[in-house]
Structures are given as structure tokens and as C-alpha cells.
């Protein structure tokens, strides 16, 4: 790069460490790339307009033939490419999808398998064998993080996804009531862009404020997954103002359900929702929760990864996604 030239943006990629327990042994999936003659984790570059979570599940299925559901995030790796640029690869833990995940899988686009010239071997191997097989030394870092989660019995998790509705018409420009103020064209595009994110995390239940802008934000995913949204009056701005405790109680119940759920609500309701998540989180995770207004941007989601312990549900990680709209 010549002096004074703009800084080159890193190449964005995503992948996953797919795991299973077999006869009490933790196993992971590794792939062989003949072009580089290396063993690595299944991963690949983002397609134009694609979010990282959607890219991770697509790339894993292309390279391994396995449909997966993303779990807790793992360390992101950065390294130099052959042309002198930088690649950034975001990783998650992931499990193989089950029959019960059919609604989330139905919301994903079809995937074409990688050719033998790209991936010519896929192996389930023990963690110890994976350490020996991995060509790139830095690839061990997400493996160690996966092992740490396994040691704490934190690999099998659910998600509670908190969504803020897409962009709505301004109050000053809308002649109707507050309950039916609709999404703008941008808001509708944001709603469609949420579909692959929710599908990547295996969302099976949809809970939303009854007001139009929330219901319309979550409807594209409900339609794609064949789900019936559960509309809740207590998630509206007006009901939250009257009784924040009802919102808090509802979030507590969702955390205890052992289901992958998305909850769609309004900006003024978010502090109460986030407070409940913080009560169920260790300090580092609670500190990572959004703490300033507007908490989430329109069309943005916070994914809370929930482990179920003897002491109750525990939020072990959070991440935010604002998928690119059309």
C-alpha cells in the first residue's frame, strides 16, 4: 500500500466450529482444502449484502453438507492474506440442526455444495486430533474457547433475540394512531434482512408487541419459517409505561422456556428488557449489554445466548447484529 492511499478494508469471512459428543468424547468438524493443502475450520467470505451469521451457516453447509444452528460466539481471527491485505473471520460454536429446527431451516435459502476442487475431505475428529491436524496455528484459539465452554457445560444453549422494530414513519407525518404507525420502505427492507439472522440462530418462537411497526418487522421471518407470532400487549410502549414489571416478568419467563425465541419491541421498552438480561448475566456479559439510548438502532437485534444451570437461566454471551438492508 503506497503512502497516503486509503487503508484497505479487511476481507470479511465467517465460519463455525461444529461440535458433537460421541461416547462421551467431544468431536469437531475439520475440512481439507486442496488448493492450499491445509486442514481448517469450515468458513468463507461473505457474499455481497450478506450478514456474518448468515454467511457462517451457508459456508458450513456448502463445505460440509451439514445444516447447523449457531451457538455462542468464539474468538474472531485476523491474519494477513497473500496479497498483503487482512482477513477477518468471525466464528461461532455450532450444533448440527435437528428435526425440530425445521422452521428455521425453511427460512434459509437453498445451498449449493462446494466442489471437490474447493473441499475434498470433511472429518469428524476428536479435539486432540483437531489440534494436530490444523495447519494454521491461530486456528487453535477458537478451539480452546470451545473447550472452555464445554468444560463449564455451556455449549448447549438457547437464544433470546431482542429486536427493535424497523424504521417507521415519523409521528409528524402519520395521520393515524400510534398503534398502527407503519414501517417505511427502509423499515420493510430491514424486516426482510432480519430473516437470515433469525434463521441462523434457529429461532422457533416469535413474540412481539401488538403495535403495527413491531408486528410488521417480525412477520417476514414468521412467514418464511411458517410460525404464528405471539402478540403481547405488555410489550407496547403504552403498556410498558403503565407496568414495566409486566415486561420484566415476561422476559424472565422467556429466559426459562428453553426455546430459541425472538422478542420484538420498542425503544422505550428496551431498558427494562436489558435490565432483566443483566440480572441473569455474569459481570463481563452484563457490561457488554447496550447501556445508552437508543440501546438498539432500528432493525437491529441483540442475541443473548442462554445456558440453563441449576441456579436458573444464565446469559453467557451477547452479540449485536444490524443486517444490511436492501
pLDDT tens column, 245-302: 999 999 999 999 999 999 999 999 999 999 999 999 999 999 999 999 999 999 999 9
- Eight-state DSSP code of residue 183: B
Q: What pLDDT, on a 0 to 100 scale, did the predictor assign at position 324?
A: 79
Cα gap 239→247, rounded to integer Å: 9
User: 193 pLDDT exceeds 90?
Assistant: yes
- Mind listing the domains of the chain with CATH numbers? 11-151 (3.90.79.10), 158-321 (3.40.50.1240)
Compute the average pLDDT of residues 220-241.
97
Give the cell for residue 256.
Answer: 426459562
State the CB neighbour count (10 A cutoff) for residue 278: 18
User: What's the pLDDT band for 4 if we cut at 50, 70, 90?
Assistant: very low
Contact 317, 324 (CB under 8 A): no
pLDDT tens column, 140-186: 999 999 999 999 999 999 999 999 999 999 988 898 989 999 999 99
**Alpha helices, DSSP H, located in the chain:** 52-64, 102-106, 127-133, 140-151, 185-200, 212-225, 237-242, 244-255, 270-279, 283-288
Residue 261's SS3 state is strand
Cα gap 304→323, rounded to integer Å: 17
Closest CA to 12 of 88, 69, 97: 88
pLDDT tens column, 90-142: 999 999 999 999 999 999 999 999 999 999 999 999 999 999 999 999 999 99
Q: What pLDDT, on a 0 to 100 scale, did the predictor assign at position 187?
A: 97
User: 199 pLDDT exceeds 80?
Assistant: yes
State the CB neighbour count (10 A cutoff) for residue 261: 21
CA atoms within 13 A on the CB side of 129: 11
Contact 29, 18 (CB under 8 A): yes
pLDDT tens column, 11-58: 999 999 999 999 989 999 999 999 999 999 999 999 999 999 999 999
User: 2 pLDDT exceeds 60?
Assistant: no
Q: What are phi and psi of 246, to 5 degrees?
A: -65, -40
| String of DSSP letters for 9-46 | PPEEEEEEEEEEEETTEEEEEEEEETTTTEEE-SEEEP
User: What's the pLDDT band for 9 if we cut at 50, 70, 90?
Assistant: confident
Q: What are phi and psi of 158, to 5 degrees?
A: -110, 170
Contact 162, 272 (CB under 8 A): no
Q: What pLDDT, on a 0 to 100 scale, did the predictor assign at position 5?
A: 43
Residue 160's SS3 state is strand
The DSSP bridge partners found for residue 208 are: 231, 264
Contacts of 178 (CB under 8 A, 6+ apart): 171, 211, 237, 238
Sign of the alpha-carbon dihedral angle for 303, 62, 220, 49: positive
Q: What pLDDT, on a 0 to 100 scale, did the predictor assign at position 326?
A: 65
Q: Which CB contacts under 8 angstroms, 24+ apart, belong to 37-42?
A: 38/135, 38/136, 39/133, 39/134, 39/135, 40/134, 40/135, 40/136, 40/139, 41/15, 41/16, 41/17, 41/91, 41/139, 41/142, 42/15, 42/16, 42/18, 42/119, 42/122
Closest CA to 35 of 2, 82, 90: 82
Return the CA Rg of the chain. 21
Cα gap 296→279, rounded to integer Å: 19
User: 70 pLDDT exceeds 90?
Assistant: yes
Amino acid at each position: 500500500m503506497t503512502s497516503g492511499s486509503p487503508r484497505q478494508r479487511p476481507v470479511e469471512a465467517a465460519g463455525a466450529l461444529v461440535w458433537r459428543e460421541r461416547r462421551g468424547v467431544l468431536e469437531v468438524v475439520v475440512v481439507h482444502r486442496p488448493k492450499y493443502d491445509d486442514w481448517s475450520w469450515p468458513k468463507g467470505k461473505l457474499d455481497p449484502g450478506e450478514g456474518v451469521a448468515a454467511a457462517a451457516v451457508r459456508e458450513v453447509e456448502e463445505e460440509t453438507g451439514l445444516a447447523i444452528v449457531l451457538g455462542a460466539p468464539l474468538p474472531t481471527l485476523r491474519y494477513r492474506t497473500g496479497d498483503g491485505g487482512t482477513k477477518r473471520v468471525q466464528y461461532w460454536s455450532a450444533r448440527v440442526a435437528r428435526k425440530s429446527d425445521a422452521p428455521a431451516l425453511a427460512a434459509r435459502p437453498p445451498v449449493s455444495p462446494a466442489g471437490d476442487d474447493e473441499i475434498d475431505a470433511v472429518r469428524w475428529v476428536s479435539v486432540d486430533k483437531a489440534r494436530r491436524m490444523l495447519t494454521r496455528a491461530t486456528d487453535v484459539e477458537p478451539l480452546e474457547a470451545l473447550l472452555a465452554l464445554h468444560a463449564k457445560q455451556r455449549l448447549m444453549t438457547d437464544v433470546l433475540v431482542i429486536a427493535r422494530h424497523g424504521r417507521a414513519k415519523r409521528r409528524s407525518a402519520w395521520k393515524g394512531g400510534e398503534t398502527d404507525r407503519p414501517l417505511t420502505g427502509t423499515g420493510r427492507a430491514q424486516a426482510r434482512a432480519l430473516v437470515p439472522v433469525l434463521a441462523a440462530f434457529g429461532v422457533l418462537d416469535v413474540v412481539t408487541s401488538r403495535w403495527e411497526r413491531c408486528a410488521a418487522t417480525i412477520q417476514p421471518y414468521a412467514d418464511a419459517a411458517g410460525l404464528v407470532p405471539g402478540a403481547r400487549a405488555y410489550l407496547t410502549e403504552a403498556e410498558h409505561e403503565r407496568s414495566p414489571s409486566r415486561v420484566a416478568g415476561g422476559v424472565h419467563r422467556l429466559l426459562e422456556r428453553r426455546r430459541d425465541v425472538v422478542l420484538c419491541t420498542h425503544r422505550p421498552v428496551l431498558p427494562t428488557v436489558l435490565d432483566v438480561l443483566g440480572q441473569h448475566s455474569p459481570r463481563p456479559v452484563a457490561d457488554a449489554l447496550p447501556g445508552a439510548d437508543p440501546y438498539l438502532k432500528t432493525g437491529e437485534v441483540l442475541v443473548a445466548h442462554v445456558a440453563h444451570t441449576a441456579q436458573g437461566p444464565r446469559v453467557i454471551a451477547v452479540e449485536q447484529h444490524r443486517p444490511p438492508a436492501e
